Chains A and B, each alone.
Chain A
Amino acid sequence: QSVLTQPPSVSAAPGQKITISCSGSNSNIGNDYVSWYQQFPGAVPRLLIYDNDKRPSGIPDRFSGSKSGTSATLAITGLQTGDEADYHCATWDRSLTAQVFGGGTKLTVL
């Protein structure tokens, strides 16, 4: 069972918008930055969002992140079939003295 809670799956049609939640606690999300990773089947995770809401160069602005209290959210607008992947949130937990991840969310673009 993961320390951070994500929905197992989300789905939407091409062109629509989805959000993926990542819920934690004061010992993790509430006190540190959140990052998000995209992972295609059989591939290495790729950084999408860091420091809650910043995008690395090369990541389209269709991807955005936000954080409020002990939860973080990844939003993807203008969905494309190429966005089908697993998405993982991550942060540091000061109580566990450990890096923690969400369980991952599988995005299906119908």
Chain B
Amino acid sequence: QVQLQQSGPGLVKPSQTLSLTCAISGDSVSSKSAAWNWVRQSPGGGLEWLGRTYYRSKWYSEYAVSVKGRITINSDTSKNQFSLHLNSVTPEDSAVYYCAKVADRYFQQWGQGTLVTVSS
């Protein structure tokens, strides 16, 4: 049973960097059949995909146009986890952030979600 455990601060100041980590159990971040994603949801809003990282003989990362240039998703194989870094945040980045595993073309497992508020 794959489990994803998120960690990171719930409050970030404007212009700073939002950083969250997703620890994986029951699978490997280096799996060649999975992709490791970050998704967010603004209050009362829909789901917004932010990006993903995955390993296929080498590491790849892909990002949504809406956050490209501000986002980095990377992996730590020694800790079997992956992380989200979103810089220059504004109050519009306040949302619930989820990490999620995609395999076989759908989201198979989600983290518990982290409410992040951008405020001074």
Contact = CB atoms under 8 A, between A and B. Distances in A.
Interface of A: 2, 32-33, 35, 37, 44-45, 47, 50-51, 88, 90, 92, 96-104
B106 A45 contact: no
Nearest to A6: B46
B110 A45 contact: yes
A99 B37 contact: yes
Given A44-B110, A99-B37, A101-B47, A51 B65 contact: no
Contacts of B111: 44
B55 interface: no
Would you call the interface of chain B mostly helix, strand, loop, or mixed?
Answer: strand
A37 B112 CA distance: 15
Contacts, number: 55
Contact of A96 (B65, B102, B104, B112): B65
B47 A35 contact: no
Given A35-B105, A37-B107, A90-B106, A103 B37 contact: no
A32 B106 CA distance: 11
A99 B100 CA distance: 12
Contacts of A99: 37, 39, 49, 52, 102
Contact of A44 (B64, B104, B113): B113
Contact of A88 (B46, B64, B102): B46
